[in-house]
Structure 1
Amino acid sequence: MKVLILGSGVIGVTSAYFLAEAGHEVTVIDRQPGPALETSFANAGEISPGYSSPWAGPGVPVKALKWLTMKHGPLVIRPGFDRHMWSWMLKMLRNCTAERYAVNKSRMVPVAEYSRDVLKALRSTTNIAYDERAKGTLQLFRTQKQLDSIGGDVEVLKQTGVPFEVLDPEGCIAAEPGLGAVREKFVGGLRLPGDETGDCQMFTERLAEIATAAGVKFEYGVTLTGIETAQGKVTGVTTSAGPGRADAYVMALGSYSPIWMRKLGQPIPVYPVKGYSITVPIVNASAAPESTIMDETYKIAITRLGDRIRVGGTAEISGYNLSLNDARRDTLIHSVTDLFPAAGDISKATFWTGQRPMTPDGPPIIGLSKYANLYLNTGHGTLGWTMSCGSARVLADIMSGRAPDIDASALGPQRYAA
């Protein structure tokens, strides 16, 4: 079967690899000059299945009001006259109940855990390298109130069989020795030893090379201009390089997927939530993080990537806006220098922003659209890197007429039909 994939971020490239592995003839188009040059370019570097949780949960509306007033708060809302923004936020608020949180998290963790296993197998068969580490994630709590509130997450981790450790300060320092210099700044942590880290852009570029060697065609610098349909099927696309035809199509355009799905008459509740990162060269390896530390107060991830530290965070709801905001950089610098003051050279930090494609309930959208040959793989939010390989393998199985290894029935766009 000829498959045309729209988008060459980590979701599009992993989809291409696993579809080619399943025997399909695959072409990928992207407007950028290469893979992983938008949202996949400089994310936080986490592969954190155990930390796969919906943003919408009980207590979040009250917390959001507090975050909006914090100098270094994790949430920024820049309201505009975009009805899709307001609709998405209202849908998210409706998911802020204990019952919906439990359901949504139970849908996210299995695909994330599966994705990590698929990535391990891929690494074994291809020897792909991407500054990877397998040393876990440490969610760090600065206050006792934060530590006391983890019961719900711990229960879900138990139910889904995800290994975890609740640590006192000395346990946190044992896992992350670089925290020893700031012992007084935290009260404990929740460690997920099965989590990994890695450079998403490096992985995507190298997997694209492997996929190319396997026969996948990548057409870069090609802008999608139209999608043609007839009799319940996609019949082709129009692009800046001319028409494109295939037997099946994959929508993997991240935050731009909902724009095209609205044009196709099947709106999906995906909205861009802007994130920021800085990348800091390490000058003192012993004072740097070993893996990923989640600074719970500021919702910032601090990750070791080879000889660099990637610091990522902030949820900014401001539409399709890629301007860099100095206040957000200051927040990232504050978090990393507060916890790892001697680790990196902040004067040489590079600053980046990207748009995470978020669903209001949390799980991604993977499966068949209302068109008989158009499939979706989008809406992964902050977990695109974490869920990429598993999502792609599930999609390849669905498109090949095989039952996926995990139950993906609740991940399709049909869950929004009501």
Structure 2
Amino acid sequence: MKITILGAGVIGVTSAYYLAKAGHEVTVIDRQPAPALETSFANAGEISPGYASPWAAPGIPMKALKWLFMQHSPLILRPQVDLAMLSWLLAMLANCTSARYAVNKSRMVRLAEYSRDCLIDLRAQTGIHYDERSKGTLQLFRKQAQLDGITKDIEVLRKDGVPFEVLDPTGCIAAEPGLAQVRHLVAGGLRLPHDETGDCFKFTNELAKLAESLGVKFHFNVTIRRFKHAGNHISAVETSEGDIAGDRFILALGSYSPLLAKPLGLDIPVYPVKGYSITVPIVDADRAPVSTIMDETYKIAITRLGDRIRVGGMAEISGFSKDLPAARRKTLEQSVGSLFPGAGDLATATFWSGLRPMTPDSTPIIGATRYDNLYLNTGHGTLGWTMACGSARVVADLIDGRKPDIETADLNLSRYG
């Protein structure tokens, strides 16, 4: 079959690779001049299935009110006249119950664990390299109250069979020796030893080369205008290069997916939640992290990527804005600078922002639509890198009429009614 994929981020490229491996003729369209130049460009770098947790959780509304008034807040809200923003916020609040949290986290972990296994297989088959490491993830708690509040997460990890370790300060320093200089800031940690790290941008570009060797055609610098359809069948995508046809279409445009789907009458509840990162050159490797640390206080991920430290996080609800306020950089610098002082040269760090495509329940939307040849692979939020390979395998299996290796009925658009 001829498969046309809209989007050349990590989700679109992994989808292209798996479909090409299955023998399909694949075309990928993107407005950028190369792969992974938007949300996949400089994300936090961690592949952390066990930390795949919904943003909507019990107690979050009250925490959010407190965060909004913090100097280094993990949440920034810039209110504006935007019905899509209001609708998304209300839907997310409706998911802030214990029952919804348990359901949402369980299916997120299911997909994320499967995706990690798919990545391991892909790496073994291809020998692909992307500054990868397999040294686990440490969720670091600066306060005892944070450590005391992990009971529900541990219950889900046990239920899903995810290995974990609850560590005291000595155990945290054993896992991350660079923390020895700030022992007084460490109350404890939750470590997932099977988690990985890697540069999503490097991975996506290397995989795009492998996909090209399998016959995938990439069309860059192309503006995607709209779908053409008759009834419930998509015939082509209208672009700045003319119409591009296909037997099957995959919408993988992240935060921009709803804009293209709306004229089809498809309401995709994905909204951009802006994140920030800095990439810091390492100047003292002994003081630097060895893998990923999740700084629970600031909701910041600090990841070792070769000779660099990637520091990423925060959630800013401000529409499609991509500005770079100095205050956001200071929050990232505060997190990494306080935990790993002297490890990197903060003055020469590069500063970046990206739009995470978030759903109200934090679970991506993967699968068929009411159009008989249109599939979705979008809405991965902060976990596009973690879930990319598994999501692509699921879509490829569904298109080929194969039963996926995991349950997928609760991942498609129909769960929103």
Partner in structure 2 of residue 402 of structure 1: 402
Partner in structure 2 of residue 253 of structure 1: 253
Alignment size in residue pairs = 417
Q: Secondary structure at the match of 1:11?
A: helix
How far the C-alpha of 1:225 sits from its partner, in A, is 1.1
Write the letter of the residue equivalent to 1:33.
P
Are 1:137 and 2:153 counterparts?
no
How far the C-alpha of 1:58 sits from its partner, in A, is 0.4
Write the letter of the residue equivalent to 1:325.
P
C-alpha distance in 2, partners of 1:324/1:234?
A: 38
The alignment yields a C-alpha RMSD, in angstroms, of 0.5
Q: Secondary structure at the match of 2:228?
A: strand
Write the letter of the residue equivalent to 1:368.
A
C-alpha distance in 2, partners of 1:66/1:325?
A: 21
Partner in structure 2 of residue 275 of structure 1: 275
C-alpha distance in 1, partners of 2:260/2:229?
A: 12
Are 1:61 and 2:47 counterparts?
no
Are 1:10 and 2:14 counterparts?
no
Partner in structure 2 of residue 28 of structure 1: 28
Q: Which runs of 5+ in 2 are unaligned?
A: none
Partner in structure 2 of residue 91 of structure 1: 91
For normalisation by structure 2, the TM-score amounts to 1.00
Percent identity at matched positions? 68
Partner in structure 1 of residue 180 of structure 2: 180
Partner in structure 2 of residue 205 of structure 1: 205
Partner in structure 1 of residue 335 of structure 2: 335
Partner in structure 1 of residue 238 of structure 2: 238
How far the C-alpha of 1:23 sits from its partner, in A, is 1.2
How far the C-alpha of 1:25 sits from its partner, in A, is 0.6
C-alpha distance in 1, partners of 2:61/2:260?
A: 30
Are 1:390 and 2:390 counterparts?
yes
Partner in structure 2 of residue 152 of structure 1: 152
How far the C-alpha of 1:226 sits from its partner, in A, is 1.5
- Give runs of ≥4 in structure 1 deviating > 3 Å: none
Write the letter of the residue equivalent to 2:126.
T
Partner in structure 2 of residue 306 of structure 1: 306
C-alpha distance in 2, partners of 1:196/1:216?
A: 28
C-alpha distance in 2, partners of 1:370/1:266?
A: 9
Write the letter of the residue equivalent to 2:134.
A
C-alpha distance in 1, partners of 2:239/2:160?
A: 44
How far the C-alpha of 1:374 sits from its partner, in A, is 0.3
How far the C-alpha of 1:372 sits from its partner, in A, is 0.3
How far the C-alpha of 1:53 sits from its partner, in A, is 0.5
How far the C-alpha of 1:205 sits from its partner, in A, is 0.2
- Encode CA deviations 1:13-65: one digit per residue, 9 max, x unaligned: 00000011111110000000000000000000010000000000000001101
How far the C-alpha of 1:302 sits from its partner, in A, is 0.2
C-alpha distance in 2, partners of 1:282/1:214?
A: 37
C-alpha distance in 2, partners of 1:107/1:8?
A: 25
- Encode CA deviations 1:80-106: one digit per residue, 9 max, x unaligned: 000000000000000000000000011
Partner in structure 2 of residue 162 of structure 1: 162
Partner in structure 2 of residue 38 of structure 1: 38
Partner in structure 1 of residue 81 of structure 2: 81
Write the letter of the residue equivalent to 1:411.
L
For normalisation by structure 1, the TM-score amounts to 0.99
1:288-367 counterparts in 2 under 5 A? 288-367=288-367
C-alpha distance in 2, partners of 1:63/1:22?
A: 46
Are 1:190 and 2:190 counterparts?
yes
